[in-house]
Amino acid sequence: MKHGGDLGSALARFGGLASEWMDLSTGINPHAYPLPDTLPAEAWTRLPAQDALTRLIAAARAAYAVPGDLDLVAAPGTQAILAHLPHVMPDGGVAVVGPTYGSHAEIWRRAGRVVHDLTSPYADLPDDVRLLVIVNPNNPDGRLVDAQSLRHHAEQLAARGGWLIVDEAFADCVPGASVLPHLNGLPVIVLRSFGKFFGLAGLRLGFAVAPRALAERLTVALESWAVPGPALEIGARALEDTAWQDAMRARLADEAADLTLMLQMQGLSVFGGTPLFVLAGTRDAAALHRALARQHVWTRVFDYAPTWLRIGLPDGQAGRARLEAALAAAIAEP
Amino acid sequence: MKHGGDLGSALARFGGLASEWMDLSTGINPHAYPLPDTLPAEAWTRLPAQDALTRLIAAARAAYAVPGDLDLVAAPGTQAILAHLPHVMPDGGVAVVGPTYGSHAEIWRRAGRVVHDLTSPYADLPDDVRLLVIVNPNNPDGRLVDAQSLRHHAEQLAARGGWLIVDEAFADCVPGASVLPHLNGLPVIVLRSFGKFFGLAGLRLGFAVAPRALAERLTVALESWAVPGPALEIGARALEDTAWQDAMRARLADEAADLTLMLQMQGLSVFGGTPLFVLAGTRDAAALHRALARQHVWTRVFDYAPTWLRIGLPDGQAGRARLEAALAAAIAEP
């Protein structure tokens, strides 16, 4: 699967050192949660302990406002959860509301499932569909589906023994986006990503929230010691630090607004995104992507949408200024 | 699955603070590979990069003497590889040479396979068996199977479209134990654990070595960014440091010899193990295990073998002295 975030291919095609590049090809917060100066040595040396996992889960439950009747499962990244989903969810057809993050359709196709690409979250479900995947807010366009519509889908799926899968990878920085406070008794599994909002994508930490029986199947599938000791420790501290989270949400909203304004002044039409990335439209996104790459700024294009350019949030005022200069130079290219 | 290594149950039953306990319930090297003072921030903040993974794999290839025609797959712990094995290996019955590490039989039974428990690595294979699992050196008894016998098994399995699975979790500290240098073209997958020999079990890092097609299936199943950034960085440094590895092998052999001698002087009969743990026999292992726990020393007993006590290598001379005193007190209990 091709993703953003690996500068290797950029360096191979456009030269330069990794340190000279500004990587805006992902939606990872450039303001990382501050790492502790030292971690307890035991986090590295001992097998991950049950009490450290219990603390992490409790912190995630509070941060994500998870209802008491749902269970949380921690994993080394949401991608590791996706890898196991086909083995723990019921059989049947899958519908993915797209265009969206490509791994969703891919994991189900690879598992031999029929996958329907729906173009609207309000489309009728084909008869064979037992699983519906909605990324909310959506990547790359930021489209939001309201909780009532998600509940309606879940009720429809419940009637056929199916499940709704909601990927909330970018929900942390969009207040009110999460469906979690609105679930009760519905067959819904919600995926949360730690690394994006907290800016620690290398840590690999993600969660699934689900009713007990499904959470238990997923826990068993992920096997013992799934989350490394350092991730248990850092994840718990960050998720418990609600003051940092609140301040960061406000900061990201401000910076995303400044980014949008700057892009529009540079002639791009911004028509979607979340505070961690914007989706801009331009006549030939691939050409602008390459021109920016010649300025050592790495963005993301989509083969299914030749006018779309996804641009991650740059690192503060300085990053934004660099992006502005690169855009001006790219657009001025003959 | 119940494993050693989680002190939580020991504290709940026998009291004390975690810091007061000596945990000898696992086979993890007490002399951990020294952690770098700082890791590059990018190891935490960015998605794990392909070039960092390439470096780790090259270091593992050299350290484990992997033949050029075999591929390596890195994962967040060998347990994460086990979780995916039933989905990437061919169908058919499974034979596990036991008694051994319990997860092997468990993952296959959970996947709906018929699992035969073989009591000898030289037993004939039942007709339906397509997969044979041998832990080498074996846990908990340290039994070694020679490369020629392993090759013979692999040839037999090849004739029926099957595979040999060799778990070399403890091979690092037993020179000559690994089958890797002796494989050519045979259907064998070898599992290697990083955390045990390098004393960094919290890091979660493990490898599978297999012919290209199987390695590719496993890589796809494990999904993108399977290994966290810090593990890529620390794993590569440690695996490249062959001087540390050679010195550690010698040190562990010495300390295991001293441990064996001490245990025998305390009246235990040591009849197996590896340099990272010994397997001792005593009339009532559960009683001695509990008596040691009252001294806040945590060991491992086995419900299938009431006379077996597995004791991990203590931390140096001081650790050995503490174990000796605890044993003397435990044995002197009325």
Residues B137 and B220 both lie in one domain: yes
pTM for the full predicted model: 0.95
A228 with B231: Cβ contact below 8 A: yes
pLDDT one-digit tens code per residue, A192-212: 999 999 999 999 999 999 999
Looking at per-residue pLDDT, the higher value among B3 and A290 belongs to A290
DSSP letter, residue A90: P
Residues B204 and B320 both lie in one domain: no
Is some CB atom of chain B closer than 8 A to the CB atom of A222? yes
Residues B15 and B79 both lie in one domain: no
Pick the last residue of a domain from A240, A267, A284.
Answer: A240
Any idea what the CATH number is for the domain that residue B192 is in? 3.40.640.10
A48-80 burial string, b = 16+ CB within 10 Å, else e?
bbeebbebbbebbbebbebeeebbbbbbbbbbb
Residues A59 and A185 both lie in one domain: yes
ipTM for the whole complex? 0.94
Residues A198 and A115 both lie in one domain: yes
B 1-60: CB under 8 A from A:
1, 3, 5-8, 23, 26, 28, 32, 35, 41-51
What pLDDT is attached to residue B5?
66
- Give the domain range for residue A278: 8-32+244-332
Sorting pLDDT into bands at 50, 70 and 90, what band is A303? very high
Sorting pLDDT into bands at 50, 70 and 90, what band is B301? very high
Is some CB atom of chain B closer than 8 A to the CB atom of A203? yes
Mutate one of B2, B87, B193, B223 to test the A interface: name it (highest A CB count within 10 A).
B223
Residues B180 and B258 both lie in one domain: no
- Provide the pairing of β-strand A305-312 with A277-281: antiparallel
Shortest Cα–Cα distance, B168 to chain A (Å):
18
Chain B residue with CA closest to A104: the answer is B223
The structure tokens listed for B213 are 């097609």
Examine the pLDDT at A307 and tell me if it is beyond 70.
yes
What pLDDT is attached to residue A5?
66
Residues A211 and A116 both lie in one domain: yes
What pLDDT is attached to residue A244?
98
Residue B3 lies in a domain: no
Report chain A's terminal Cα–Cα distance, integer Å.
34
Any idea what the CATH number is for the domain that residue A267 is in? 3.90.1150.10
Residues A58 and A26 both lie in one domain: no
Rounded Cα distance between A228 and B43, Å, is: 14
DSSP letter, residue A195: T
Q: Is the dihedral of CA B144, B147, B148, B152 positive or negative?
A: positive
Percent of chain A whose predicted confidence (pLDDT) is above 90: 94
Domain count, chain A: 2
Residue B67 lies in a domain: yes
Nearest to B6 by CA among A170, A49, A96, A194: A49
Report which residue type is found at B44.
W
Residues A174 and A294 both lie in one domain: no
Rounded Cα distance between A211 and A190, Å, is: 10
pLDDT one-digit tens code per residue, B1-52: 567 667 888 999 999 999 999 999 999 999 999 999 889 999 999 999 999 9
Residues B180 and B65 both lie in one domain: yes
Report which residue type is found at A234.
I
Residue A282 lies in a domain: yes
Q: What DSSP letter does each residue of B56-85 carry, written as one string? A: HHHHHHHHTT--TTEEEEEESSHHHHHHHH
Rounded Cα distance between A28 and A201, Å, is: 7
Among A28, A32, A230, beta carbon nearest to B202: A230
What pLDDT is attached to residue A9?
86
Q: Is the dihedral of CA B294, B295, B296, B297 positive or negative?
A: negative
Is some CB atom of chain B closer than 8 A to the CB atom of A231? yes
Sorting pLDDT into bands at 50, 70 and 90, what band is B334? confident
pLDDT one-digit tens code per residue, A18-74: 999 999 999 999 999 999 988 999 999 999 999 999 999 999 999 999 999 999 999
Rounded Cα distance between B289 and B282, Å, is: 10
For residues B297 and B289, is the Cβ–Cβ distance under 8 A? no
Pick the last residue of a domain from B186, B221, B240.
Answer: B240
- Provide the pairing of β-strand A115-118 with A93-97: parallel
Q: SS3 of B8, please?
A: helix
Among A6, A7, A44, beta carbon nearest to B200: A44
Residue B2 lies in a domain: no
Pick the last residue of a domain from A240, A275, A292.
Answer: A240
Examine the pLDDT at A181 and tell me if it is beyond 90.
yes
Rounded Cα distance between B305 and B298, Å, is: 18
Rounded Cα distance between A104 and A167, Å, is: 9
pLDDT one-digit tens code per residue, A113-160: 999 999 999 999 999 999 999 999 999 999 999 999 999 999 999 999
Sorting pLDDT into bands at 50, 70 and 90, what band is A334? confident
Q: B314 preceded by cis ω (within 30°)?
A: no
Residues A236 and A131 both lie in one domain: yes
User: How many angstroms separate the Cα of B157 from the Cα of each of B132, B144, B154?
Assistant: 8, 20, 5
